[in-house]
Each structure stands twice: as C-alpha cells, then as structure tokens.
Structure 1
Amino acid sequence: MSNPFARARYLLSAHTPRQLPPTSLKEVAFAGRSNAGKSSALNAICQQNALARVSKTPGRTQQLVFFDMPQHPNIHLVDLPGYGYAKVPKDMQAHWQAFIHQYFQTREQLSGLVVVMDIRHPLREYDLQMLSYAVENDLPAHCLLTKADKLSRGAAGNTLQAVRSELKRTFGDTVSVQVFSGESKQGVDEARSVLGGWLGIAV
C-alpha cells in the first residue's frame, strides 16, 4: 500500500495561538528534545529528505510548524519546538511553555502525540513533561527511540524493555514505545501504522 504521508508539505508556522490554522478534523504532534532526531523521524515517515529541516544547531525550530496532506485535506502533522539543552532565552522558554500547554488543553482536533527520544538518552525531563501533557489531556502518546542504528540490536532491545517498564510504571498503559532509525528506516512502518490508526487513514 502506498504511504499516505509521502505527499505531506509545509503549510504554515505559528508563533502564537491566533496563528494556528482553522480547525481541521485531526492532527498529530511531534515533540522531542533538541538533537533527538525529530526532524529525521518526520522525514523518514513522510519519505522526504527535507520536509522537516534537520539542523546541527539545537533548538532551531522556533514555531509550531504545520504540514498538510493534499490527499487528506483535514489532517495535519505538527512539528513542535525542540528544546532541552538548547540555549534559549528564559522569556522564550516561558512563552513556549505557556503556548504549548494551551495548545494541548484547547486543541480539540489533536489526536495523538509522538515523542522522539534518542535511544541513548531516553526519558529526560522534557520527554516526561510532554508525555504528561498528553496523558493529562487524555491523548494517546507514542515514543520513538530514535538513532537505534547507533546501538547493537541487543542493547537497543534492552533499552526498549527498560523504557517500556518505566512508561508503564509512570503512565500506566496510555503510552506506547518502539525503536526507530531514520537512517536505517528501522521501525518506520510501525510508526506509520500508529499514526494511521490515530488519524483514521489506511497505511
């Protein structure tokens, strides 16, 4: 079956709530710490090289970036700002924390959250905060343990089991997790299947 995400394209960027696009039926948001591999994951899922910009500079994404899908006009993919160790001014951090908190609380069409984590550094404070936003707002959440190609299969499997256990202990059964590599394309089909289920589209 063809990949329904392959024709995704840039729509707009929002820096404030009023810049958000009008209500659509469904959208899925992607979150991740700086340099966790979020842009690479989006590009791999959408079979594109530069849909989401891959930057060597952490924290480059300064807005909520929306992508639409021409064959599914009522669906958006949303790239959230990547923060963590990025050198972002305190007032900017406060702005984004308030904006994203409001986004999760009021964006009725938000259908799920993908949290992208470097498999070598999972479940950092930012990751747990984003997962908490999802769980508190009754949203399904799915974790991608990216850069799995950097570890042996055994080490990646051990990390997956450890993260799965910690997620279950912290959030119950509301958060799922998988290994992923934008480089080797490991786990790409599984991720598309999760998104398709949330969005109600065949994958």
Structure 2
Amino acid sequence: MSGSRIDFRKAKFLISAPDIAHLDEHLPGDVGVEIAFAGRSNAGKSSALNQLTEQKGLARTSKTPGRTQLINVFELDEHRRLVDLPGYGFAKVPLTLKKKWQQALGQYLQERSCLSGVVVLMDIRHPLKDLDMQMIEWAVESDIPVLALLTKADKLAQSARMKMVNEVRKHLADFGDAVKVEPFSSLKGIGKSKVLGILDEWCKPQWLMDTLEQAEEE
C-alpha cells in the first residue's frame, strides 16, 4: 500500500527545543516518522524547507547564519514530522556555546529511533566538508538513508552544476544506494520534484503503512 502522495504544504510548526530532553516533553514519544534536515549554518536549510513546503515563513531565515540554534519540529500529520536541526560549523560564537549546540545535534541523531532519513544540505560550490562527511558516514553506519542535497544550484550554469553533481556522486559512490545526491535551488525550484519524491518515500516505511492499513480495516 503506497497511499497517496504526502502533501508537504500541510507542514505546520510544532515545537522548538534546545535539546532532545525538551523535545520529549512536548512530542508524543519517539514514534512515527521523522526526517531530519542537517547542514552547515550557511547551507540554506530554512530556505529549502520553505520551498519544499511552499510556505515562505515556515522556517525562519536569517542573514546571520547559525543564529537560531534550536531543534525545530514541523508536523505533516499525526504520524510524520520534519525536523530542522541546529546548523553545524558555526563561526563567531563562543566555544562553549558551539559545544552545547553540537551536543544537542549529536544527541538527537544518536537517540531518535523514529528517524527515517537525513537530508544533508551543502552549498553546491563547497560540498563535502569534513563535518558533512561525518554526518553522512554516521547516518550510513546507522542504516539511515541520506539525501546529499546540493543547494544554491542556481549559482552555477547547468553544465557546471551537473559536473559538480557527478563529482559528488563519484565521491560518495562507495556508500551505494544508501546515499542519493541531487542538486537543489530554493530560489528557482531546481530539483524540487525529485526531492519531494524521495521525502515521500521516506515518509512511508512499510511498517507504518501496514499499521495504517490495519487501522483502516478495524
């Protein structure tokens, strides 16, 4: 049972929290499906979320990357959520604060069992930095599928864009089907349909579809 496509335009803000403990106070347990969005502070996570959900103000964007360092949760329906994780690789913040943010990020990724997929956003002009690779490697080792999303794709001409996409795919080829690579532009909508297709698939693990089908029959 594949069901109809998930309507990501129905996403609505649910909760912000500084760490997983505060999340657990407000969420209905570690259940259902969550898709996490992670990336460097200047990778364009908020803009990507706004484009994918067709809501200009869903995720707050800032001219100062890394200003909002909270775990932000958006609900699609009672079983599915999108999670905007704190940006990593922040600059111009005290080391103690940087460590606190990194701890919140790592704790969520390691302890959240309902995590169905991770979107790792990277500026297409500067992909595969050390922290990006650490994020991808961690997810693959944890059997969590990854979408390496090369943002700001409109900044490159089509030929240069595809050359970069192919280079990143070649670099990540050893991960096999566990990692998909796609170009994306929040400004122009490049790659939007492909990304929504991948997210839709992640939102429908077989165990959840079986559960929903059984509930309908009852």
TM-score by length of structure 2 reads 0.85
Q: Which residue of 2 aligns with 1:18?
A: 21
Aligned counterparts of 1:54 and 1:99: Cα–Cα separation in 2 = 20
Q: How many residues align?
A: 199
Structure 2's unaligned 5+ residue stretches are 210-218
Q: Which amino acid aligns with 1:68?
A: E
Pair 1:116-2:128 in alignment: no
Structure 1's unaligned 5+ residue stretches are none
Pair 1:187-2:194 in alignment: no
Q: Which residue of 1 aligns with 2:180?
A: 176
Aligned counterparts of 2:42 and 2:101: Cα–Cα separation in 1 = 18
* Structure 1 residue 133, shift from structure 2 partner: 2.2
Rg larger for? 2
Q: Which residue of 2 aligns with 1:4?
A: 7
Aligned counterparts of 1:98 and 1:85: Cα–Cα separation in 2 = 13
Higher helix content, 1 or 2: 2
CA displacement, residues 139-180 of structure 1 (integer Å, 9 cap, x when unaligned): 0000111111111000000000000011114x3432110011
Q: In structure 2, the residue corresponding to 1:87 is in which secondary structure? A: coil
- 8 Å CA contact 1:101–1:133 kept in 2: the answer is no
Q: Which amino acid aligns with 2:118?
A: L
Structure 1 segments, 4+ long, off by >3 Å, are none
Aligned counterparts of 2:90 and 2:71: Cα–Cα separation in 1 = 19
CA displacement, residues 102-150 of structure 1 (integer Å, 9 cap, x when unaligned): 2222211000000111111111122112112211211000011111111
Aligned counterparts of 1:25 and 1:178: Cα–Cα separation in 2 = 26
Q: Which residue of 1 aligns with 2:134?
A: 129
Aligned counterparts of 1:3 and 1:155: Cα–Cα separation in 2 = 32
Moved more, 113-122 or 131-140: 131-140
* Structure 1 residue 3, shift from structure 2 partner: 6.1
Aligned counterparts of 2:74 and 2:21: Cα–Cα separation in 1 = 17
Q: Which residue of 1 aligns with 2:97?
A: 92
Q: Which residue of 1 aligns with 2:66?
A: 59
CA displacement, residues 59-112 of structure 1 (integer Å, 9 cap, x when unaligned): 02211100012xx21111000111224322212222222222222222110000
Q: Which residue of 1 aligns with 2:45?
A: 38
Q: In structure 2, the residue corresponding to 1:177 is in which secondary structure? A: strand
* Structure 1 residue 52, shift from structure 2 partner: 0.7
Q: Which residue of 1 aligns with 2:107?
A: 102
Q: In structure 1, the residue corresponding to 2:190 is in which secondary structure? A: coil
Pair 1:150-2:155 in alignment: yes
Over aligned residue pairs, what C-alpha RMSD do you find?
1.8
Moved more, 15-24 or 175-184: 15-24
- 8 Å CA contact 1:131–1:141 kept in 2: the answer is yes
- Identity level (%): 48
